[in-house]
Amino acid sequence: DADVTQTPRNRITKTGKRIMLECSQTKGHDRMYWYRQDPGLGLRLIYYSFDVKDINKGEISDGYSVSRQAQAKFSLSLESAIPNQTALYFCATSIGGYDTGELFFGEGSRLTVL
Partner 1 sequence: GQNIDQPTEMTATEGAIVQINCTYQTSGFNGLFWYQQHAGEAPTFLSYNVLDGLEEKGRFSSFLSRSKGYSYLLLKELQMKDSASYLCAVMDSNYQLIWGAGTKLIIKP
Q: Residue 31 and residue 40: Cα distance in Å, rounded? A: 27
Give the amino acid at 23. Answer: C
Asked if 7 interacts with partner 1 (CB under 8 A), we say no
Q: Residue 108 and residue 62: Cα distance in Å, rounded? A: 20
Could you tell me the smallest distance in angstroms from the CB atom of residue 13 to partner 1? 20
Q: Which of 66, 68, 93, 106 binds partner 1 (CB under 8 A)?
A: 106
Q: Which of 42, 53, 62, 84 binds partner 1 (CB under 8 A)?
A: 42
Asked if 90 interacts with partner 1 (CB under 8 A), we say yes
Give the amino acid at 18. Answer: R
Asked if 1 interacts with partner 1 (CB under 8 A), we say no
Total Cβ atoms within 10 A of residue 27: 13
* Footprint (CB under 8 A) of partner 1, residues 43-62: 43-45
